[in-house]
Amino acid sequence: MIAGGVDPMTGFLDRVANILETPDVTPELEFRSVRGWGSMMGFALFVMIEDEYGVKLTPEQFLELRTVADLMRSVEAGKA
């Protein structure tokens, strides 16, 4: 938890759900499997990680990620 009692994972899941246009986002979700997945959603996730969390991934690093938990771990590792 961070100040104000907001769980950072919940905020992250909300952002990902907004981009993927689905309320059914869990850490285990393989984000490329959602209905309507395409390059624009991928780009939006890639940009969100940099803009919202200040973590710059290479395209190669991003392509290695499979689940929402992988995305979150990459953000946590990038902030370390």
pLDDT score of 2 more than 50: no
Domain boundaries, the chain: 3-79
Q: What is the CATH number of domain 3-79?
A: 1.10.1200.10
* Rounded Cα gap, residues 47 and 49, in angstroms: 5
Give pLDDT tens digits for 40-54: 999 999 999 999 999
| The predicted structure's pLDDT at residue 10 | 79
Q: What angle (nearest 5°) sits at the alpha carbon of residue 76, between those of residues 75 and 80? A: 115
Instruction: Give bridge partners of residue 30 from the DSSP assignment.
Output: 67
Average pLDDT over residues 17-42: 95
21 Rama class: left (phi>0) / alpha (psi -120 to 50) / beta = left
